[in-house]
Amino acid sequence: MAAKQLNIKKCALAYSGGLDTSVIIRWLIENYGCEVVAFSADLGQGEDLEPLRQKAIDTGASKIIIEDLREEFCQDFLTPSIHANSLYEGKYPLATALGRPLIAKWLVDVARKEGADAIAHGCTGKGNDQVRFEVVTTALGPELKCLAPLREWELKTRDEEIEYAKKHKIPVKATAAKPYSLDSNLWGTSIECGVLEDPAAEPPEDAWQNTTSPLNAPDKPQEIEIGFDKGTPNRLNGKSMKMSRLIEELNKIGGGHGVGRIDMVENRLVGIKSRELYEAPAAQILIFAHKELEAICLDRELVHFKPHLEVKFAELAYYGLWFSPLREAISAFMTLTQKHVTGTVRLKLYKGSVSVTGRESRSSLYDTSLATYDEGDQFDHTAAEGFIKIFGLPSKVLARRK
């Protein structure tokens, strides 16, 4: 078997404690004869990771390392994404796509510290996540091999996996098969599989994990105010708070109003179109508010040009090319654009919608004396005539040719 030829002695596994990664620990030991070090990260998925310590060891791992990466996630991944108003195909705020490179980066560190010769993950052979884990590993730890047991093993169904688990005395929770595949972190929840695979059918209410249906949301709108400093959100309703806290609060408040539900058919990197649901109240609110603030703080040329690079940024993040020269260069550009994006945005949340009610900034380029149709108008109306003559000159020349 190819497994033996790879000659792996120790491997660092991205471990969630679920059925797949539990079975993977045993399977790696059996099939590669290697030692497995488990790694689990808190990215704000709202799950207590402490019970995983015992579970990983009981399942056969030689060691488990658990890290709280919420602040690093906010500083190094979510902040640049907000600056870039990052939405893949205009809709998906990229929660899973942004979480993977951070986990992979740590996995490479763990593998090196522990003297492992490979990393392993529990992604399937059809998704983007396998690409993200492995491309990031290649970029940051090219000496490490990548193992993807789900692409390789003989366990075709969940029942076969459960049987394998029982045979190897791996504790399996007696839960019914989950109807959806889920992945969650601070920036949102990704929901796929099962009945969602029919893009013509409305998702059943039980597919949504942490948001209230707009139908059941409060009948009264709620107004909130978000403060930004150089494009980075740092205040909610006048109160300063660290970003992870602000995001948690917005997920709660927004989710309560049915905000942040996204239903889309997206183009995966591996060539498949897939129907996915996302729940990302904070991401949707923050990106929306950020754009509103940019509208008064950025000049016209920047407002028009920046979205071109935003599209590319989202694509690179989605493709797992986070640690690439182009993504880093685009981020450097984005940072420069945020110099004057400081101020506050007021929003109204109401039955699934977010709307803006006001924006303010001390570096605003909005000039009432130029904009007004009322008294105090400073705009030079007579200059408009000459401007139009010159601006319209090419049109005039073209018309003559006709």
Q: What gap in Å lies between CA 182 and CA 247, rounded to an integer?
A: 20
Residue closer to ligand ARG by CB (options 13, 182) is: 182
Residue from the set 128, 251, 337, 342 that interacts with ligand ARG by CB under 6 A: 128
Q: What angle do CA 83, 255, 266 make, to 5 degrees?
A: 60
The reply to whether 129 sits near ligand ARG by the rule CB under 6 A is yes
Catalytic residue among 16, 20, 274, 359: 20
Cα Rg for the chain, rounded, in angstroms?
25
Sequence-separated (6 or more) residues with CB below 8 Å from residue 39: 12, 13, 14, 15, 64, 65, 66, 67, 103, 106, 107, 110
Amino acid identity, position 19: L
The reply to whether 134 sits near ligand ARG by the rule CB under 6 A is no
Task: Say whether 16 is catalytic.
Answer: no
For 11, the 3-state DSSP assignment is strand
- In what side-by-side order are the strands of the sheet with 353-360? 239-240, 232-236, 222-229, 343-350, 353-360
Q: How many residues bind ligand ARG (CB under 6 A)?
A: 10
The reply to whether 181 sits near ligand ARG by the rule CB under 6 A is yes
Residue closer to ligand ARG by CB (options 93, 231) is: 93
Task: Say whether 183 is catalytic.
Answer: no
Q: What gap in Å lies between CA 278 and CA 90, rounded to an integer?
A: 13
Q: How far is the CB of 94 from ligand ARG (least distance, A)?
A: 7
Amino acid identity, position 352: G
Name the one range near ligand ARG by CB under 6 A: 108-116, 175-183, 367-375, 390-398.
175-183
The reply to whether 276 sits near ligand ARG by the rule CB under 6 A is yes
Residue from the set 35, 134, 161, 192 that interacts with ligand ARG by CB under 6 A: 192
Residue closer to ligand ARG by CB (options 276, 310) is: 276
Active-site amino acid positions = 20, 100, 129, 181
Which residues contact ligand ARG (rule: CB under 6 A)? Answer: 96-97, 128-129, 181-183, 190, 192, 276
